[in-house]
Structure 1
């Protein structure tokens, strides 16, 4: 081997030894802690020996994260929850509502059967009858009949607008043969009903339509607000149901609402309506209406008029003019003059009957609004004084709430009987 080769081999060997020594120095211990190895001692020289350095203590392995305890809190800042006095139970979570069920189609309820006329009449006269019945019960309660009691009875009947004459007769009938005897309130009301029926029976007459007179002209009169236009609509419905042909004349030319109301009634019944603009001459309208009714050969012509107070001379004169013009077309027209009375006016109705009777020649009465008053007895006073036929009475707003007048039904209803 040459000298150069030997030098190279020696150099490589020394290099290998140095590398091996370095790796041994940094070799890890079995427990994972690295510990520096003591390098090989240098060649001994004539220096005093140095003490070997103490090995560094191995670091403790880190504790698992879950086992690391929190830093202690100072006693004065430590918070402890108070012991609950009542055990708190969490409220259960409400379950989700079920999906909505499909809504069924609405069920149309059958219309309630219409009450009988007697039931509606009794209910309509309830205020009048209850006033009389309460007064009678207060007077004739476990007492023997006396003159003072009969006077009290008269006062009750007069306050119900039966009139002084009728009240006096009824009180006399109650006292006949019964002085110093007890009499029940029911017996007094029975005597009242009998006397009321006796007075009303002669005037309870239906409105008769003469088929030989075409058109049969009915003139409807009355004061403001008595219900003339509504009454004409109800009569139109009744006559139409009987198979009669009709025509309406809107003679209340002062109120646009009255003209429109009559047109509505005519539209419902498919009945022609003769009307003019607001403020037109009512007498001229009456002339045209009769001519049109003759040309169309209708059975009945119903003519409305403006409401007028019986004490207004100029208005009553206008009513006279309407009648005069009617007679120019038909000498017998109007064939019936109906006075519509509002039962709520009480004794004032007597004055209306008297004056309208003189001016317009009233042939019959229609009493309305008996369901809104405690003065239903006024019909007895009117019949007792004037003996005019009472054709219809009304106890409501519907078309069938106007019915022919019956004396017995009215008398029983106003006395408070239920059958």
Structure 2
């Protein structure tokens, strides 16, 4: 026989807990003449069985039902499903905490936060000590703040020797130039890279061009091109990110953004760049778009992860119109624009395959190249030429 304190000690519970169990009917002691409760070894074993059932995640009410009758398999199945959901949630929480501490990849987490809260995502990265330039690169390129430096070192090793850092051709640049309703005097080129479009624009216009990019290596290559063609008096190069774009008193005649609007998100770029244009100024931008409403699931999943904002041309045109711009023209840049970027990239990646084996950069770029080979006629780049109305206000129409 056990007194309540002895029973509590033998099963590792408190006296108050056993009194609570008695209140619930899980335990029933015998009261002696002196008023003390006593318990048998059967009571102790019942408590041990109760503890084992609790270890399966059962509530006290569910434990009592199991102790006093047959197992309720339906109830156990529901409890198992609940536990599995809780385990999934806890595992996700554990994995995120481990990743935030640098013990695992943050790629999926960054990608999801960028999808649902891009502005706050980048603001948060800046609070962690990254510059706005690096915050943008983490958001749309490395997608892992813990391994960002190593990722970028490998990434730039691949791209350092490439002339194009995105789909495009000189013919597409010239076709868009022909849609301008005036001869521009001042062009702001955002995301110029090594300067293929810059040099085409310099040859096709008499405009002064301010070409900006976040990568000094790309600007160094463009600087060599500018010097070789003696265009230093017309082309100014600056290392600058999209959070520091220069506002002129008059406004820019043309903003040229081949392959860079997606970094901000096209809708935000349309709003943010509105204030930089003079009334009647023109924005030219290219964007990867779907050519189908029913892509294969693996292709859809790839682009949903790499560029969640990618959509179809009619949706982009609606966004342009709702922002307040007038569409002057748009066109599919064609397979040639995709090939001009992806074929040299594939050759460069093959040349570095041994050095970059098992790296995330190699895996990411290989996956993108596989998507390129699979997406002919399903995904391509569209060039958009849109004009800010001459009577436009200082802010766009959308919020």
Fold shared per TM-score above 0.5: no
Q: Bigger radius of gyration, 1 or 2?
A: 1
TM-score relative to the length of structure 2:
0.28
Structure with the bigger percentage of helix = 2
Structure with the bigger percentage of strand = 2
TM-score relative to the length of structure 1:
0.27
Q: Which has the higher contact order (CA 8 A, sep 6+)?
A: 1
